[in-house]
Each structure stands twice: as structure tokens, then as C-alpha cells.
Amino acid sequence: MRKQIIYKIYEISRSRRIKKKQDKQRKKINRDIMRKILLTLAAVMCAATMMAQEKLLQWDQLMDYKLYPQREMRGFTFVPGTNNVMYLKDTAYMLFDGKKERSMTAKEREMFKEKMQPAKDERVEKKEGNLYVDGKFVEKGDGYNIVLGESVHRNEFGIDGGLFWSPKRSRLAFYRMDQSMVVDYPLVNTKAREAEPKPIKYPMAGMKSHEVTVGVWDTKTEKLVYLDTRKDTTVHEREMYLTNIAWSPDEKYVFIAKINREQNHMWLEQYDAVSGKLVKVLFEEENPRYVEPCEPMIFTPKGDQFLWYSMRDGYKHLYLYNLDGKLVKQVTKGEYEVEGFIKFDKKGENIFIYANKDNLAGRDAYRVNLKKGTMECLTMQENGLHGTHSILLNDNCNTWVDVWSSVDMPIRADLRDLKHKKALYTFYTAENPLKDYAMPGVKLGTIKAADGKTDLYYRLITPPNMEKGKKYPTLVYVYGGPHSQLVTDSWLAGGNLYFMFLAQHGYVVFTVDNRGTDNRGFEFESCTHRHLGEIEMADQMEGVKFLKSLPYVDENRMGVEGWSFGGFMTITMKLAHPEVFKVGCAGGPVIDWKWYEIMYGERYMDMPQENPEGYEANSLLNKAKNLEGRLLVIQGAEDNTVVPQHSTEFIERCINNYKQVDYFMYPHHEHNVLGRERLHLYQKMFDYYETHLK
């Protein structure tokens, strides 16, 4: 009995131990299961995060404006005489009074709409090429051989229109362009049932140019007079460039910057608006390379003096003159460029300008005292950062809206004033529109030019999440010509969605602004004179050296791409360095400068008759025999800037030399491929790289 009791107690104890052990094991199993569940959830969340980070741009997004920094507010303007700012916020009309934001009143809304909608010039009309003002016939033209009131000289010298009203709109100056002596250049419209000619007037370097005069119509007397801009009837006088037309504040005089065809001599001339006679030559400028005025004179508020842009000291600066042409003083000075005039203050004591004084890759706004010459930066951030700025000043010029961006700051709008260093109010700071996508690296930096001393600014875009030790195919995107600056201290360093797309697909994308480009002084820009493509290529190859020093760049898979002057540079570099560039993609390329227009071509190369060695040395026709690897040439069939003759003759030379080349034409496009077809262009080039470079 006693044994049975002991055994039962033992069994109960053993059962409890087993149960306890089982409970412990169950808890362990439950913990393990829970741990696995948590790890699985963490992995899923991590994967989801990675997938969000690895989201790639799609083709149809490359022209989606929503993927560029969004301006939450637009149309900033000040209520006259106040510091109150009006603007559109989405579709709402809003006003900021310095303390709070509110909706505009009906009266304020009408004022805002009036300021935002520039008045249409309904007084001038053109019918069948003829010019009418206030319904009155002014001059006969045909819109082709004789063109009235339109831009002339192929839009060079800053010309963007052909009508110039006097301040009180009682007189109208206008361009009359006679291009009947210019050869008809044959373009073809293939949309017609039977292809039909679509000729243009295209004066080529060294050939006959058009002839321009300036008429003045008096709306009160209804009389037309032509300014006497020619000393005689010689071709030399008839082919003068008449640029930068301006009216005197009292409407009595018209001013013209007249330039000889050689473009090495400029005369600033004053004409009587009633008689058309030359009053005086205010001053002259000469340069053995070229002079290129692009802005008309700017009168002071009193009207007794004016400002003039000039690069005579080596950089683009402002000079103050009396009306008799006597120089009062140089207003700005230094190794930087004045990039734009904003306005005078009410008293005319200070001017407001844009310049790259403190940031050669960016643009700041400054107040400059005319008497002392002192400069104050209005857009320096409290943390010392710069960027690329545009400002809107109030009437008193003591408060302004500053809209700006930098390499890694999409866009921001601040309210600032002269009393405070910090922004008074930030209207908005745009978020990164690519925050949900795999974000490539974007860097702005400098390398030395081929001369070993000049700084060149570059933009380097690298693939996201680069793998250590891996080498990536690299594309050099180039323009390299005058009046260009591709690398800027602005969002993505001036890059675009196409470059980001390429980087997301594993390409390094590099751009450098070589000597010959803009905003770095006259020597920097003009050192390429008479030998386009040589110094530019030398600097670009310094960029290639830099790329080869980077551990992630595959020097055996390098390509080059560019359009227009960049197309010329692309083929130049591909033919000169076939061992470097495996692939090239050239759009609308200049092949031989003798086929380019007079105004631009002769400025930078002189006439073919004056510089035969330069034209011959830089003609790509002579170098087609050096083609190796893959080259895609893209051309707009109706290109009226770089006419198709360039690319077709290059193809012919490739054929003659038994060199294989790829050629693609956009049948109904001019110099640029625009609209939805641009997506086709992007895909065409990308597929080419995927096939031949990657």
C-alpha cells in the first residue's frame, strides 16, 4: 500500500515535471515563431522600403513637369506702393500683408490680373506682309523677300523682335529687311500629297547677306521716315548690322548700335526721329576678334545719362555715359560678369543687377551705388549658401521676393528686405520631386582646363546605390559653344530628367563647360576664335582624364552626346579620339562652318575667304575617314538652323570612305525635336547606348 502511494506521488511529480518541460518548450517554440514572424515582417518592410527607393523613372515621365520642382505659388507681384505681395496659390488669389496670408479682395484680384496679363499690341497689324498702324497703311512688304517689323540678323545681337514703340507710343520704329538678294535655300515639305518646296532665306558664311533699314512712323503726322544709317550705297554699308534699338525718354531720338559685317567695330549712333538724319556717333568700340552688343542702352530715371554693357576690360560690365557720349565712369568692375539689369531705385542713386561675382556657377542679385560703386549682395543666405536667384522688387526697392534654387535645393521663395540678413518669410520650399525614386548622386565641382590654370565647372551624375568595385559605362554630354552654360548652381546642377533616367539605368553622366562658353569673361569665351572645336576639345579631354581617375568609371565604355554645336563637338571628339569614345550620338550637327549662317559663323570663324585654314582644319568632312566604332547622327528634315546639308554630306563622306554610320531623320522637325516626339528621341538614344555601350 505504501509502495503504491509512493509510486502515485512519483507519477504525479513526474507528470508535473513533464508538463512543465512541455510548457517551457511550447513557450520557446512560440518565441521562435514570433521571432520568425517579426524577422519576416522586418524583411518585408525593408524590401518595401528598398523597392520605394529603387523606383525608376519611366519613359513617359521624362517630360512630366510634375517631376520638376513645383512652385506652390506663382505670379508674385507687389501691391503698388506697399510691401504686400500678391500671388496665385494653386487657383486661389492670395495676398501676404507681412503678417498673414489672406484671400484677395475683388479689387485686388482685378489689379493682379491686369499686372499678370501683358497688354496686347492691337495697334500694329500685318496683312499679307504689309505693315499697318492704327488701321493706317505704313509700308509694303511680302513677308518673304521684304520683311517688316520682324526680328532680323538671324536673332543675333540679342534681337528678339522688330517693333519699337517710343515711350509715349506716339512713334513706332521698325525693321525693314530686304533679303531678296539672299539665295533661296530648299527645304521640302513631305506632308503634302506631292512633296512641295518650303524654301527659306539662309545667308551662309562668306555669301551675300540681307540688308536692313529702320523706319519710323509718326502716328500724329502719319509720315514715314527711314533713318539714314548708310554713309553710301556700297555693299559694306548696306550689310551693316543694326542692333539694340532704343528711344530717348523725350521721343526725339532713336539710338542704334551699328556693327560692320566683320563684327570687329561698333558705332553707337543717335538719329533724329523726325528727319531720320544722323545726329552724332556717341562712341565706338573695336576688338580684333569681335564686338557683340546684346542689350540696348538703359536710361537713368532723369533721362540725362545712360548705362551701357561692354566687355572692353575683359568682362561684361556696366558703364555710365552722358548723352553726349562722354564716359562718366565704369560702374561695375572685377573678374565676374553682370548677367542682367533689374531696375533703378526711385532717385536713380542705386541700380539692381544680377551677377556671378560671388559664385561663378550661380547668379545673385546686387544693389550697386552709382556714385560710390559699392556692391551689396541681396541674395546671400544666412548660412553663406548661394544658388541661382531671380528677384522681384517693390516700388521702393527695399523689399523683394527671392525665388531661387541650388544643386540640392529644388526651389524656394523668400520675402527679404534691406534691414535683415535673414528671410522675413518663406512662402514655400518645394520638396524633392524625385524623393520616391532611386536618386542618383549629383555633384558640382571644378577641374583645370588644358592650359593648366583655368577652372572649369563640371556636373557629375552617378547611379544610385553604386556597388563597390563595379565599373559603370560613362556618357559625356557636351555643348561647348558660345552663349551657353550647362553647369549651374541650380537644381540638379542644371541637369534634367533624361540624365537622371540614364543614371538610374547604370550610366555615369558627365558635363563640363569648356573654354568658349559663357559668363566667364571675354578671353575665356573668345579664345576659340577662328579655330572652333580645338580648344573646346582639349578642355573636354581634360574632363575625360578626370573621369578615368574615378574608380567606378569604365574607361573602355565611354560615349559622347550633344546637339547643334554639341553635335559638332560630339563628332569632332569621336573622330579625333576613337580609342576613347566607343559610341557617339550627334543631333543637328554642324559639319562644316561654311554652311552655317553669316552672323554667328563669321563672328567666331571670320569669313571662309579670310580664314580658309581655320575652316579647312575644322571641317568634319575631312575627318570622316577616321570614324571607328558606332556613331548615330540625328537630323530634323526641316532644320532651318543647321540645315540638313551638313549631315547628309557627312554621310556621303562616310560612304566614300567605306565607314559605317547610323543616321536617323525626324521628317517634320526643325532644329529641335519637340513635343511628344522628344520621348521618341530619348528612347532612340538610350536604346543605342544599351546596344552598343553597356
State the residue for C-alpha cell 537713368: 300
Q: What is the pLDDT of residues 194-226, one digit of tens each?
A: 999 999 999 999 999 999 999 999 999 999 999
The topology under which CATH files domain 441-692 is Rossmann fold (3.40.50)
Torsion angles phi and psi, residue 213, rounded to 5: -130, 170
Tell me the three cell numbers of residue 408. 540640392
Mean residue pLDDT across the chain: 93
679: nearest Cα among 117, 57, 21, 153: 57
SS3 call for 599: helix
Report whether 241 contacts 153 (CB < 8 A): yes
Question: What would the mean pLDDT of 288-313 be, rounded to a whole number?
Answer: 97
Q: What is the pLDDT of residues 141-187, one digit of tens each?
A: 999 999 999 999 999 999 999 999 999 999 999 999 999 999 999 99
Query: With b meaning 16 or more CB within 10 Å and e meaning fewer, what string describes 15-25?
Result: eeeeeeeeeee
Q: Which pairs count as long-range contacts for 273-277, CB under 8 Å and 24+ apart, including other chains?
A: 273/166, 273/171, 273/173, 273/216, 273/218, 273/225, 273/247, 274/218, 274/225, 275/225, 276/216, 276/225, 276/226, 276/227, 276/228, 277/228
Q: Is residue 41 over pLDDT 50?
A: no
Question: What would the mean pLDDT of 614-640 be, rounded to a whole number?
Answer: 97
Q: Is residue 496 over pLDDT 60?
A: yes
Catalytic residue among 265, 483, 577, 671: 671
Provide, for the chain, the percentages of residues in helix, strand and coil under a 3-state DSSP scheme, each rounded to the nearest 5. Answer: 25, 30, 45
* Least confident interval from 5-19, 77-91, 194-208, 223-237: 5-19
Q: Is residue 14 over pLDDT 80?
A: no
Look at the pTM and tell me if it is higher than 0.85. yes
Ranges of each domain in the chain = 121-296, 441-692
As a three-state string, the secondary structure of 181-212 is CCCEECCEECCCCCCEECCEECCECCCCCCEE
- Please spell the DSSP secondary structure of 611-625, one letter per residue: -HHHHHHT-GGGGGG
Q: What is the Cα gyration radius of the chain?
A: 33
Catalytic residue among 592, 639, 646, 692: 639
Question: What would the mean pLDDT of 95-99 be, rounded to a whole number?
Answer: 94
Q: Is residue 37 over pLDDT 60?
A: no
Q: How many residues does the chain have?
A: 694
- Per-residue pLDDT, 51: 41
Tell me whether residue 275 is one of the annotated catalytic residues: no
Question: What would the mean pLDDT of 233-256 be, rounded to a whole number?
Answer: 98
Question: What would the mean pLDDT of 111-128 be, rounded to a whole number?
Answer: 89
* Least confident interval from 40-54, 61-75, 424-438: 40-54
Q: What is the pLDDT of residues 348-385, one digit of tens each?
A: 999 999 999 999 999 999 999 999 999 999 998 877 78
Q: Is residue 8 over pLDDT 80?
A: no
- Per-residue pLDDT, 657: 98
Do the domains 121-296 and 441-692 sit in the same CATH topology, yes or no? no
- Per-residue pLDDT, 13: 62
- Rounded distance, CA 665 to CA 635, Å? 5
- Looking from the CA of 675 toward its CB, the CA atoms found within 13 Å total 6
The topology under which CATH files domain 121-296 is Methanol Dehydrogenase; Chain A (2.140.10)
Tell me whether residue 639 is one of the annotated catalytic residues: yes
More confident residue, 515 or 422: 515
* Least confident interval from 25-34, 63-72, 295-304, 627-636: 25-34
- Rounded distance, CA 237 to CA 499, Å? 48
- Per-residue pLDDT, 46: 43
Report whether 341 contacts 353 (CB < 8 A): yes
More confident residue, 43 or 393: 393
SS3 call for 225: strand
Catalytic residue among 564, 592, 606, 619: 564
Q: What is the pLDDT of residues 413-442, one digit of tens each?
A: 999 999 998 999 999 999 999 999 999 999
Question: What would the mean pLDDT of 622-651 be, rounded to a whole number?
Answer: 97
Question: What would the mean pLDDT of 485-513 be, rounded to a whole number?
Answer: 98
> Which residues share a beta bridge with 78?
85
